[in-house]
Structure 1
Amino acid sequence: MDIELLREYCIQKPGAEECFPFDEHTLVFKVDGKIFLLASLDEHPLRVNVKCDPQKALELREQYAAVIPGYHMNKKHWNTVVVDGTIPRKEVLQMIDDSFNLVKKNKKKTSTKTG
């Protein structure tokens, strides 16, 4: 999987937007104003940060050497995934889906508490 395929997959998600809020090298995907994926355009192989359920995050780190605690993120809730071909594409896409759904779910919880 390369950055173009990753971008196409992320941007097709309902309500997803892409931006460069930090610098011109870190592509960010958000839903409802919340980040669900960060990708470093300078890293080869590609590295992405995705949000993850804390228990699942640990399981993925144990299962795949290419999954490590989230770089510059809350390591309990974020994983960095090195997209080097050692993780099946389907699994990487599932991690993106899970991240998107967690962020979307948390946004709904927040808005129901305040509204």
Structure 2
Amino acid sequence: MNVEEVRAYCILKKGITEEFPFDEHTLVFKVLGKMFALLPLERLPPQINLKCNPELSLKLREKYDGDIAPGFHMNKKHWNTILIERISPSLLKELIDHSYNLVVSKLTKKQQAELAKLKE
């Protein structure tokens, strides 16, 4: 996948907004105001930061050494930096889904109900 394909996949999710809260080069995807993905648009090689379960993070970093690393400029326990062109598109989509679902699971019940009412 490339950066445009990653962006297209992320914005398909319910309740998503895109913004540039840090600088004009880092696109941030949020679900109901909570970050689940950061996509630096000009970084080479292309990469994405995704939230991840801490136990899964460790397994992924070990299995994909060099391609999945602790989150750059993020909480290393809960975020991974993934080189998007060096892992399979199916794995990348799984990890985007995992990050999104992890954030959704931490939303309040009221926010989850609001999200459920939104059209896909």
TM-score, normalized by length of structure 2? 0.87
Corresponding position of 2:81: 80
Question: Aligned-pair distance for 1:84?
Answer: 2.6
Contact preservation (8 Å) 2:29, 2:37: yes
Work out whether 1:29 is the aligned partner of 2:32.
Answer: no
Identity of aligned residues (%): 50
Aligned counterparts of 2:28 and 2:111: Cα–Cα separation in 1:
23
Corresponding position of 1:5: 5
1:41-60 residue pairs with structure 2 within 5 A?
A: 41-60=41-60
Q: Partner of 2:27: helix, strand, or coil?
A: strand
Unaligned 5+ segments in structure 2 are 113-120
Contact preservation (8 Å) 2:50, 2:79: yes
For CA contacts below 8 A with separation 6 or more, give which structure has more relative contact order.
2
- What letter is aligned with 2:92? V
Question: Aligned-pair distance for 1:109?
Answer: 6.1
Q: Partner of 2:23: helix, strand, or coil?
A: coil
Aligned counterparts of 1:68 and 1:27: Cα–Cα separation in 2:
19
Change (3 A) 1:57 1:109: farther
Aligned counterparts of 1:77 and 1:42: Cα–Cα separation in 2:
23
Contact preservation (8 Å) 2:31, 2:103: yes
- What letter is aligned with 1:100? Y
Count of paired positions: 111
- What letter is aligned with 2:10? C
Contact preservation (8 Å) 2:32, 2:111: no
Question: Aligned-pair distance for 1:41?
Answer: 0.9
- What letter is aligned with 2:69? I
Aligned counterparts of 2:55 and 2:78: Cα–Cα separation in 1:
9
Change (3 A) 1:67 1:3: same
- What letter is aligned with 2:81? T
